[in-house]
Amino acid sequence: SAAGQYTFALFPDNRTYVLPPGFAPNGIPVNRAKPDDVIILYGLGFGPVTPNLTAGTLVEQSNQLPSFQAFFAGVQATVQFAGLVQTYTGLYQFNIVVPHVPASDTTPFTFSINGTPGTQNLLIPIGN
C-alpha cells in the first residue's frame, strides 16, 4: 500500500471532506472523490501569482497561479482555478477536476509548479 498523508480537500459544498469512509470522527461528512468530480484543495507557500501581490497582504483581487499542474496516479487533471483566495492572506485554493483513474483509497496525488514537482507524498481516495 502507498505511504503518505491525505490531502486537505473538500467537495464544493465546503462541508464534505475527500477522505475514505470511517476515516474522520463521527459527524464529519466524508466521501471518496469520483472521476469528473470537482474537488477543492487548500495550501500554503506555493509562490507568486499573476498579477503579483505583495506577500503578507490581504488578497483583494482575482489572481492565478498559471503554472500549477495536478496529477492523480500520474494522470494529469484539469485545474479549473489555482491561486490565492480573496479576503485571506497567503491561502491558496485549487479547484481540480478528478481524472478517470482506478478506484483506490491510496491514489497518489502529485503536483508541480513551473515543472518542479512538490515533495510531499500525498494521497486521495478515489471511488467509482
pLDDT of residue 2: 55
Q: How confident is the model at residue 25 (pLDDT cuts 50, 70, 90)?
A: confident
User: Which cell numbers hold the place of 125?
Assistant: 481516495
Q: Which residue from 89, 35, 85 is spatially nearest to 57, judged by alpha carbons?
A: 89
Residue 116: partners with Cβ closer than 8 Å, 6 or more residues away: none
Contact 5, 121 (CB under 8 A): yes
Q: Which residue from 77, 85, 79 is spatially nearest to 66, judged by alpha carbons?
A: 79
Tens digit of each residue's pLDDT (9 = 90 or more) over 32-88: 999 999 999 999 999 999 999 888 889 999 999 999 999 999 999 999 999 999 999
What CA–CA distance (Å, rounded) separates 77 from 115? 15
The pTM assigned to this predicted structure is 0.92
The CB density around residue 70, as the number of other CB atoms within 10 Å, is 24
